[in-house]
Amino acid sequence: MDELVVELFKINAIKFGDFVTKVGLNTPVYFDLRVIVSYPNLMERLSEIIIEKVDFSDVKLVCGVPYTALPIATIVSCKSKVPMVMRRKEAKSYGTKKLIEGVFTDGDSCLIIEDVVTSGSSILETTKDLRSSGLICKKAIVLLNREQGGEDFLKENGIKMQSLLSMTDLIQILFEKNLITTKTKERVTHYISSNRVKSEALTLSLKEDRLSLSFTKRATYAKNNMAKKLFNVMAKKETNLCVAADLTEATDILNLAEQVGPYICCLKTHIDILQDFHPNFIKRLKEIAETHEFILMEDRKFADIGNTVQLQYSQGLYQISSWASLITVHSLFGRSILDSIIESNDDIGVFLIAEVSSSNNLIDEKYTTETIKLGLSYESSIAGVVCQNPLFRDFPGFLQLTPGVQLDSTKDNLGQQYNSPEKVIENGADIAVVGRGITKSADIAGSAEQYRRVLWDACKRRISEC
Ligand code: 5BU
């Protein structure tokens, strides 16, 4: 081990100074094993030491925590002849792809390999995905244990962590070899003993599956103010119903809003289908929204260059920016469309359209994936995504809005496709949009109440089952 430590020091994998760790801690010592890929002999030696240390009798597979430990895990696998699996870091966030690559069967036990452990959160994230894919993860081997609480945190989560080196060993070796001064040794020792990461804080910092969380909890994750508000309204009124007010006369929309108001979290308009638009209509609609505590969304589906969108959003007859708290936007034009909207009004909640409900639409998987990525890079302006599938389970602060919902019908004659309320909730919807299913009903209020109940019950079931 002494030799290895000296080698690692020489290649600059161990640094002393002022650094910030992945979990946001300031540290006087930093261990960066990424450079090791440039030193094959060292990688090989390290892998051999891992193989010597680990009892492989109950290990069927190995898995490196992406990315730094991947090359080490590969060599360990080749030398020990224990097959490897790989965890995809991106799949969970951006799509429905496989989380784990490689061949395995339910119940196979998997050894996790990691370079450095501070809090243990990276190992646990990888473990969560391996476990949800049916693997058993009880053991981890790490090169360096920073002795800041990671070992205990992992133990609480059923993982026994073995390390080749502790920070105390490492500092002692470097000191004995005259590679660091007494002052550095003392500084690091003091730092380690007084900077343990709290496991409660860690549990909170782990990304959670939105499908299993209450809306009140999710409001705390939301970075967008309108999303926060929406979550709180949903929790308070116990509703995930949004009514699409696709009517062409102002009084009809106002009547509809009065009747469905108690049962909805959001009323969605297509303002340009109104025959008799007047600013007074907006004034009255806002009053009703305030009385019944729902939020107004204009489903304008902006899609143009930034300059045109800015004009469409804040000028013209409808002055959308002055009254709609939420709007829908196509991702087709990329970042400029979002920049132009935020420049006009930074207190907006944008729903980005990632998938649509109409048959034979042209959206493909890449478009959907890129839309989610775009949304994630504008966290404070994006309230959520319009889509049909649970594309972003790892981001509890975002809402999934799903249109195409009806109890009694599966399609209309112009390409619209409907799912039942239960099905859309199962497919990840947080808010379901119902238009004609309610507006064409003989008993509008009764129908809204029925949709609210069916959706809310399905949502409660989902939260408890996930
Ligand atoms: P319906 O009457 O429930 O079919 O109305 C659905 C509403 O949702 C309507 O206003 C559409 O413009 C809107 N919609 C949709 O149906 N499908 C989509 O993919 C998107 C919006 Br995006």
pLDDT in tens, 28-70: 998 888 999 999 999 999 999 999 999 999 999 999 998 899 9
Is there a single domain that holds both residue 82 and residue 177? yes
| 3-class DSSP state of 141 | strand
- Binding residues are 246, 268, 357, 416, 435-436
Is there a single domain that holds both residue 71 and residue 201? yes
Instruction: Give the CATH number of the domain where residue 266 resides.
Output: 3.20.20.70
Is there a single domain that holds both residue 194 and residue 259? no
Is there a single domain that holds both residue 77 and residue 162? yes
Average pLDDT of the residues in 127-131: 89
Q: What percent of the chain lies above the pLDDT cut of 90?
A: 79
Does residue 22 have a pLDDT over 90? no
Of 179-193, 255-269, 376-390, give the range with the top mean pLDDT: 255-269
Average pLDDT of the residues in 91-118: 81
Number of Cβ within 10 Å of residue 125's Cβ equals 18
Q: Is the CB of 434 under 6 A from ligand 1?
A: yes
Dist CA 414 CA 391 (whole Å):
26
Is there a single domain that holds both residue 240 and residue 387? yes
Average pLDDT of the residues in 399-412: 97
Mutating to test ligand 1, I would choose from 260, 264, 299 the residue with most ligand atoms within 8 A of its C-beta, which is 299
Catalytic positions: 299, 301, 304
Dist CA 109 CA 76 (whole Å):
16
199 token code pair: 């496991």
Is there a single domain that holds both residue 293 and residue 438? yes
Question: Percent helix, strand, coil in the chain (nearest 5)?
Answer: 45, 20, 35
Is there a single domain that holds both residue 280 and residue 161? no
pLDDT at 203: 55
Dist CA 323 CA 314 (whole Å):
10
Handedness of CA 213, 216, 218, 221 (dihedral sign): negative
Average pLDDT of the residues in 390-411: 94
Rg of the Cα atoms in the chain: 27
Q: How many CA atoms lie within 13 A of 446 on its CB side?
A: 4
Domains held by the chain: number: 2
Q: How many CA atoms lie within 13 A of 302 on its CB side?
A: 31
Report pLDDT digits (tens) over 107-124: 999 999 999 998 888 899
Domain range spanning residue 328? 209-465
Q: Provide the whole-model pTM.
A: 0.67
Q: Note the Cα 169 to chain centre separation in Å.
A: 38
145 token code pair: 């244990």
Instruction: Give the CATH number of the domain where residue 146 resides.
Output: 3.40.50.2020
345 token code pair: 């009004």
- Binding residues for substrate are 246, 268, 357, 416, 435-436
Q: What DSSP letter does each residue of 394-426 carry, written as one string?
A: T-TTSEEEE--B-SS-SB-TTSBB-B-HHHHHH
If one compares 32 and 309, the residue with the highest pLDDT of the two is: 309
Dist CA 50 CA 114 (whole Å):
11
Q: Note the Cα 216 to chain centre separation in Å.
A: 17
Is there a single domain that holds both residue 220 and residue 201? no
| 3-class DSSP state of 27 | strand
Does residue 97 have a pLDDT over 70? no
450 token code pair: 């029925």
**268 Cα: distance to centroid of ligand 1 (angstroms):** 10
Residues present in the chain in total: 466
Is there a single domain that holds both residue 170 and residue 294? no
Does residue 328 have a pLDDT over 70? yes
Dist CA 290 CA 271 (whole Å):
19
Does residue 95 have a pLDDT over 50? no
**214 Cα: distance to centroid of ligand 1 (angstroms):** 26
Mutating to test ligand 1, I would choose from 400, 433, 434 the residue with most ligand atoms within 8 A of its C-beta, which is 433
Is there a single domain that holds both residue 117 and residue 187? yes
Is residue 268 within 8 A of residue 245, CB to CB? The reply is yes
Q: Give me the amino acid identity at 416.
A: Q
Contact partners, residue 462, CB within 8 Å, separation at least 6 = 211, 425, 426
